[in-house]
Structure 1
Amino acid sequence: MDPRMIVIHEKSYILEIIDSVPFINTPLHVASASGNLAFATELMNLKPSFARKLNTYGPLHLAIEEGETQLVLSFLKVDPDLVRLRGRECIILY
């Protein structure tokens, strides 16, 4: 069994715990920065709220920086308002 699946199986509320932290690198941030379209798409389906979580940037911005056009379009299909996401200092990031 894939080790990542063991963690999810043993800690079934891990995504909710991550979601409760206001500023954090979520798994969606990691998937966006690495261009992992399949994983990012699945995370967007499971926890669309992750797309609005900020570390320094949101996951959409990370995908833009990495030139992941297909991932950016996928995010915008789920939530078109991500282009107007306000950062920590009320700055529109995109």
Structure 2
Amino acid sequence: MDETMIQAAQTGDINLLYELILRDPYVLERIDAVPFSHTPLHVAASAGHIEFMMEMIKLKPTFARKLNQGGFSLMHLALQNDRTQAVLLLLRFDEGLVRVKGRGDLTPLHHVVQTGNVDLLIKLLKVCPEAIADVTVRDETVFHLAVKKNMFEAFQVLVGWLIRSRHESA
């Protein structure tokens, strides 16, 4: 990815993005052709440029599930950089982003449990309750990670969620 595209994503400059596309209509295709790529969408998610992110998703939806060279999706990067608003908007685009497995098969839900952000944990479970069953490469569930990281409140939320969901499906 060239420096001008990085600059557009880092600053959230949608006009510059379209100037680059005008100069080279295949600019996004070349980025997408790389299997593990830090796309403009990853850059914008890290920086919290929400309008740029949503514009980029509209132009290139495949970027949303792509992992960068570090093994992280845009949702992972948004979470790592405390871009909660970006995470919530990404969920409107695709609820399944909660289950995208990154490095070590950690999902965004695993990340949220490890940080103990209970409010965000509840929101992620509401949009994608199936994610509670995802395991890491070490066969660790979100329950394991909550205990391992001493996130007692997150553990309580998870147990409560499991009890309620089993009760509702009975």
TM-score by length of 1: 0.86
Match for residue 25 of structure 1 among 24, 34, 38: 38
2:37 matches 1:35: no
Match for residue 52 of structure 1 among 65, 77, 83: 65
TM-score by length of 2: 0.50
2:94 matches 1:73: no
Report the 3-state secondary structure (helix = DSSP H, G, I; strand = E; otherwise coil) of the residue aligned with 1:25: coil
Q: CA RMSD in A?
A: 1.7
Offset at 1:4? 4.5
Stretches (4+) displaced over 6 A: none
Structure 1 CA distance for aligned equivalents of residues 45 and 23 of structure 2? 25
| Residue identity in the other structure for 1:39 | F
Q: Deviations over 1:51-90 (max 9, x none)?
A: 111112110111111111111011111111111112255x
Report the 3-state secondary structure (helix = DSSP H, G, I; strand = E; otherwise coil) of the residue aligned with 1:72: helix
Match for residue 7 of structure 1 among 17, 20, 23: 20
2:110 matches 1:86: no
Offset at 1:15? 1.0
Paired residues in the alignment total 92
Structure 2 CA distance for aligned equivalents of residues 49 and 61 of structure 1? 16
Identical residues among aligned pairs (%): 45
Structure 1 CA distance for aligned equivalents of residues 86 and 94 of structure 2? 12
| Residue identity in the other structure for 1:71 | A
- Asked which structure has the greater RCO (Cα within 8 Å, sep 6+), the reply is 1
